[in-house]
Amino acid sequence: MTLDEETLEQLRKRVRAGGAERYHAANAAKGKLFARERVALLVDEGSFVEDGMYANVLADGLPADGVVTGTATVDGRPICLMANDSTVKAGSWGARTVEKIIRIIERAYTTGVPMVYLVDSAGARITDQVELFPGRRGAGKIFYNQVRASGSIPQACALFGPSAAGGAYIPAFCDVVAMVEGNASMYLGSDRMVEMVTGEKTTLEAMGGAKVHCAESGVGHFLCKTEADAIDTVKRYLSYLPSNWTQHPPKREAQNAPEKIDLAALVPASERQAFDMRRYANGLLDSDSFFEIQPLWAKELTIGFGRLNGEVVGVVANNSMFKGGVLFVDSADKATRFVQLCDAFNVPLLFLSDVPGFMVGSAVEKQGIIRHGAKMITAISEATVPKICVVVRKAYGAGLYAMAGPGFEPDATIALPTAKIAVMGAEAAVNAVYANKIAAISDEDERAEFVAAKRAEYERDIDIVRLASELVVDAIVEPGDLRGELIRRFAAAAGKDRHFSRRRHGVTPV
């Protein structure tokens, strides 16, 4: 049978329309776009080439498959993409859906281009489980492919609706997830299932909504007001990364002057006074180039991309505005993953240190602070991209190690004239060493005098000039000269050897 033009066009029209009108109306009422509209917002006009468009056109009761896949360009650079169509069985994965997702990830991996996931899905199609769940090319293969592609090509997800059960792992295996407030959710069991299994009464929003994941669990990276914001965020993320691990991040031709921020005035002399390290980063980097990732989660540590003289850098910075900049379990995890991301995609790392150390106490010990801290220090050790540590105000204890201190093969350790590097702050150190002696002095004035003398002695020991003379720091740089110094040092480190250890991989303390 030959297919005439008109019949083929009608078939295409039917497929492009997706599910029944009532599902479109229900989505529109929630402010949700149709899958194909999302694709159009993401890609360069006219660049989309669809794969497997006719999947399921002969299936009973289905207007089309539940996912749209294909290749396109974004800002002129090739990508692969998938977009769940929630008007077809709530975007659940039928057998063809799974095959299409598997194939497009394989295409992205083998051609070395980023994979973008536009997610809005009920997870596995429960009614079709034999065809899609257990086999060699069942749903598990999606995750296998994502893990294989991780660190080889960028993988970014915009999440617009539910991402249920197994479906929740697609975002989880991505480098970043942009979630739309109010509609996006991720959860392993629906609210109905949770009540059945545990008796807990909850809602999708309260249990796995965008705010929960972006501010509490850390599974989400960007909380977005609209679908267009989420798509723009994915595009911005991709603009800092190469297409794959063999390439360098795209350099911007325009080398903007940095925002006019007086870096010296920004850092208070007193360690007890907080300052916003995000402003400091903005003052160092090219104008408007700082792109913060996970701004709402573990805020005591700031991470993000920026540009120095047009070249991409990854920034890891302590922020004393939140919990005094002390490292906790979540902030250690946040840093670990970002350092691995930058190392995978050849993004040099800039550490801005103002760290009192890791948190102490029974609560964090029970959470495994040692394990999480060790994980962060592992990532810092294994990162072979150019890395520079700037001690902006202080680097105390294991915080120095976690922020790529001198023992971790940084390409430079730079201190500002006011920087302090020590095993701990003066007050804690004097207390640790002289607690018995201090307690034995009954006269209050005499005791204060003793403590002040010991503190002064300690401060002399950790004097930054002394540390420079011992080659602990490579340079003491005035704040006004720091940007130029970093540009020159990163350029000098660009061609460095990237080998770390003779082995298959380490055994990470997770």
Ligand X SMILES: CCC(=O)SCCNC(=O)CCNC(=O)[C@H](O)C(C)(C)COP(=O)(O)OP(=O)(O)OC[C@H]1O[C@@H](n2cnc3c(N)ncnc32)[C@H](O)[C@@H]1OP(=O)(O)O
| Nearest residue (CB) to ligand X, 78 versus 140 | 140
Cα torsion at 294, 297, 299, 305 (round to 10°)?
-10
> Burial letters for 416-434: b for 16+ Cβ neighbours within 10 Å, e otherwise?
bebbbbbebbbebbbeeeb
* Structure tokens given for 349: 């790392």
| Nearest residue (CB) to ligand X, 123 versus 397 | 123
Q: Stretches 40-48, 88-96, 174-182, 397-405: which one binds ligand X (CB under 6 A)?
A: 88-96
In sequence order, the 6+-apart residues with CB closer than 8 A to the CB of 319 are: 276, 277, 278, 299, 300, 301, 302, 325, 354
Residue 126 lies near ligand X (rule: CB under 6 A): yes
Residue 63 lies near ligand X (rule: CB under 6 A): no
| Among 123, 258, 356, 479, contact with ligand X (rule: CB under 6 A) | 123
d(CA 288, CA 256): 9
| Nearest residue (CB) to ligand X, 72 versus 170 | 170
CB–CB of 402/355 below 8 Å?
yes
| Among 39, 74, 165, 298, contact with ligand X (rule: CB under 6 A) | 165
| Among 33, 90, 284, 451, contact with ligand X (rule: CB under 6 A) | 90
| Nearest residue (CB) to ligand X, 78 versus 189 | 189
Residue 105 Cα to chain centre, angstroms: 20
**CB count in 10 Å sphere of residue 362:** 7
Which residue is listed with tokens 């392993």? 188
| Among 95, 105, 164, 369, contact with ligand X (rule: CB under 6 A) | 164
| Nearest residue (CB) to ligand X, 62 versus 441 | 62
| Nearest residue (CB) to ligand X, 48 versus 144 | 144
Minimum CB separation from ligand X for residue 352, in Å? Answer: 41
Q: Of 131-150, which residues contact ligand X (CB under 6 A)?
A: 139
* Structure tokens given for 46: 């006219």
> Residue 221, CB half-sphere, CA atoms under 13 Å: how many?
25
Nearest CA among 404, 399, 391, 464 for reference residue 428: 399
Q: Stretches 146-154, 163-171, 214-222, 289-297: which one binds ligand X (CB under 6 A)?
A: 163-171
* Structure tokens given for 218: 């850390």
| Among 69, 92, 233, 353, contact with ligand X (rule: CB under 6 A) | 92
Q: Stretches 164-172, 305-313, 473-481, 485-493: which one binds ligand X (CB under 6 A)?
A: 164-172
CB–CB of 172/180 below 8 Å?
no
| Among 67, 68, 81, 122, contact with ligand X (rule: CB under 6 A) | 122
Q: Which residue spans within 298-402 are E strands per DSSP?
A: 301-308, 311-318, 349-355, 387-396
* Structure tokens given for 442: 């009954």
Minimum CB separation from ligand X for residue 332, in Å? Answer: 30
Minimum CB separation from ligand X for residue 65, in Å? Answer: 14
In sequence order, the 6+-apart residues with CB closer than 8 A to the CB of 456 are: none
Q: Stretches 122-130, 144-152, 220-228, 416-424: which one binds ligand X (CB under 6 A)?
A: 122-130
| Nearest residue (CB) to ligand X, 122 versus 223 | 122
| Nearest residue (CB) to ligand X, 190 versus 309 | 190
Cα torsion at 210, 211, 214, 215 (round to 10°)?
-170
| Among 63, 70, 162, 250, contact with ligand X (rule: CB under 6 A) | 162
Angle at 381 between CA 375 and CA 383, to 5 degrees: 105
Minimum CB separation from ligand X for residue 166, in Å? Answer: 2
Minimum CB separation from ligand X for residue 190, in Å? Answer: 4
Nearest CA among 34, 45, 41, 110 for reference residue 68: 34
Residue 289 lies near ligand X (rule: CB under 6 A): no
Secondary structure element (H or E) that encloses residue 27, with its range: helix 21-29
Name the residue number minimizing CB distance to ligand X.
Answer: 166
* Structure tokens given for 419: 């920087």
d(CA 214, CA 159): 12
| Nearest residue (CB) to ligand X, 18 versus 399 | 18
Q: Stretches 44-52, 85-93, 355-363, 444-452: which one binds ligand X (CB under 6 A)?
A: 85-93
Residue 190 lies near ligand X (rule: CB under 6 A): yes
Cα torsion at 355, 357, 361, 363 (round to 10°)?
70
Q: Which residue spans within 309-371 are E strands per DSSP?
A: 311-318, 349-355
Residue 32 lies near ligand X (rule: CB under 6 A): no
| Nearest residue (CB) to ligand X, 27 versus 294 | 27
Minimum CB separation from ligand X for residue 222, in Å? Answer: 22
| Nearest residue (CB) to ligand X, 185 versus 378 | 185
| Nearest residue (CB) to ligand X, 133 versus 245 | 133
Minimum CB separation from ligand X for residue 185, in Å? Answer: 8
CB–CB of 396/356 below 8 Å?
yes
Q: Stretches 65-73, 87-95, 209-217, 320-328: which one binds ligand X (CB under 6 A)?
A: 87-95
The binding site for ligand X (CB under 6 A) comprises: 89-90, 92, 122-127, 139, 162, 164-167, 190
